[in-house]
Amino acid sequence: MSVEFPPSAAPRSAYPADALPEAVRERLRELSARSEEPLATYLYDGEVAAGRARELCAALPEWAQVYYAVKANSFPGVLAALAPHVDGFEVASRAELALAREALAPGTTRSGSGSGPAGTLAVVAAGPAKSVPVLTDLVRAEVESINAESLLELHRISAIAVQEGTTARVALRVNPQDIPVTGSLHMGGEPSQFGVPEPDVPEVLTEAARLPGLDLVGFHIHAASNNLDAVSQAAYLRWCVEWSAATAAAHGIELRQIDIGGGIGVNFEGEEPFDTTRFGELIARSAPPEGARVIMEPGRFLVADCGWYAAEVTDVKSSYGHAYAMLRGGINHFQLPTSWDIVHNVAVLPIDTWPAGLPRPEAARTRVTVVGELCTPEDTLLREVHIDRVRAGDLVVFPYSGSYGWEFAMPHFLGHPAADRTML
390, 417: one domain? yes
Beta-sheet pairing, 293-296 with 257-259:
parallel
Count CB atoms within 10 A of the CB of residue 262.
26
Pairwise CA distance, residues 8 & 5, whole Å: 8
Strand positions, DSSP E, 37-190 = 40-44, 64-69, 88-91, 121-125, 143-148, 168-175, 185-186
Enclosing domain of residue 336:
17-45+305-423
122, 23: one domain? no
Q: Tell me if 246 is assigned to some domain.
A: yes
Number of domains forming the structure of the chain: 2
Pairwise CA distance, residues 139 & 132, whole Å: 10
pLDDT, residue 115, reads 56
Q: Tell me if 192 is assigned to some domain.
A: yes
User: Which uninterrupted H or E stretch holds 314?
Assistant: strand 307-319
Pairwise CA distance, residues 108 & 124, whole Å: 13
Question: Taking the model in full, what pTM does it have?
Answer: 0.94
Q: Tell me if 336 is assigned to some domain.
A: yes
Q: 288, 303, 318: which is the final residue of a domain?
A: 303
139 in Cβ contact with 131 (< 8 Å): no
pLDDT, residue 120, reads 80
Known catalytic residues are 375
Pairwise CA distance, residues 74 & 71, whole Å: 6
Q: Tell me if 402 is assigned to some domain.
A: yes
pLDDT, residue 181, reads 58
pLDDT, residue 16, reads 98
76, 202: one domain? yes
Average pLDDT score over the chain? 93
pLDDT, residue 114, reads 45
Q: Tell me if 1 is assigned to some domain.
A: no
CATH of the domain at 368: 2.40.37.10
* Phi and psi, residue 63, nearest 5°: -80, -5
Strand positions, DSSP E, 115-225 = 121-125, 143-148, 168-175, 185-186, 196-197, 214-220, 224-225
370, 293: one domain? no
Pairwise CA distance, residues 423 & 198, whole Å: 43
287, 334: one domain? no
36, 55: one domain? no
377 in Cβ contact with 324 (< 8 Å): no
3-state secondary structure of 176: coil
Q: 303, 334, 365: which is the final residue of a domain?
A: 303
Q: Tell me if 2 is assigned to some domain.
A: no
pLDDT, residue 226, reads 83
Q: Tell me if 5 is assigned to some domain.
A: no
Radius of gyration of the chain (CA): 23
CATH of the domain at 133: 3.20.20.10
203, 158: one domain? yes
324 in Cβ contact with 362 (< 8 Å): no
Q: Which residues contact 268 (CB under 8 A, 6 or more apart)?
A: 342, 343, 344, 400
Q: What is the pLDDT of residues 336-365, one digit of tens each?
A: 988 888 899 999 999 999 999 999 999 999
Pairwise CA distance, residues 63 & 116, whole Å: 11
273, 406: one domain? no
Pairwise CA distance, residues 283 & 131, whole Å: 36
Q: Tell me if 8 is assigned to some domain.
A: no
How far apart, in Å, are the Cα atoms of 145 and each of 20, 80, 217? Answer: 40, 22, 8
Q: What is the pLDDT of residues 128-180, one digit of tens each?
A: 999 999 999 999 999 999 999 999 999 999 999 999 999 999 999 999 988 76
Beta-sheet pairing, 88-91 with 121-125:
parallel
pLDDT, residue 110, reads 41
Low-confidence ranges of the chain (pLDDT < 50): 108-114, 184-185
135, 191: one domain? yes
161, 279: one domain? yes
397, 329: one domain? yes
